[in-house]
Structure 1
Amino acid sequence: MNWDQVQGKWQQLQGEARQQWGKLTDDDVQWAAGDREKLAGRLQERYGHSKEEAQREVDSWIARL
């Protein structure tokens, strides 16, 4: 799945994102709105990841979908 598809299906993927990252709030997931950079930024804030680590996590999650 690529990011264009993710953005188009974000409403359906929000629950999966919340399952993957339990520290994200509903507001965090809605705010990200399928934007890779925003989602990675929230992961950095909530989990204390580096930018690169957060981006790798997001990419890995999308690859599994």
Structure 2
Amino acid sequence: MGFGAQAQSPATSPAASAKQAPAKEGFRTWSWNKVSGNWKRMKGAVKERWGRLTHNDIRESQGRRETLNGYIQSRYGIDRDAADKQIDEWLKTLK
């Protein structure tokens, strides 16, 4: 390698980048792992998005997507796929 050249690590190589989920319109959306890891701070955003959920529903879900999905289904009378779609769309709005 010449002066100033650096080897790319596997994590930053173009091949590794291609395996990651594509960014939407110039920004990267949050993963559920990030939401779950920041659950205490995310509770307000969850309540704002799904106002029919009780504070108890949100607290008891403890950042678990499947549990939150179940509460959304119950409070909004929708099926699992519809709740999943709502969660996915909500994740895209987080920055």
TM-based fold match above 0.5: yes
Opposite residue 77 of structure 2, the aligned amino acid is G
Q: What is the TM-score normalised by the length of structure 2?
A: 0.66
Match of 2:73 among 44, 49, 61: 44
* Percentage identity across paired residues of the two chains: 35
Name the structure where helix makes up a greater proportion of residues.
Answer: 1
Partner of 1:62: 91
Q: Which structure is larger by alpha-carbon Rg, 1 or 2?
A: 2
Q: What residue ranges of structure 1 are gaps of 5+ in the alignment?
A: none
Structure 1 segments (4+ residues) deviating >3 Å: none
Gaps of 5+ in 2: 1-29
TM-score (norm 1): 0.94
In structure 2, C-alpha distance between the alignment counterparts of 1:63 and 1:39, rounded to whole Å: 17
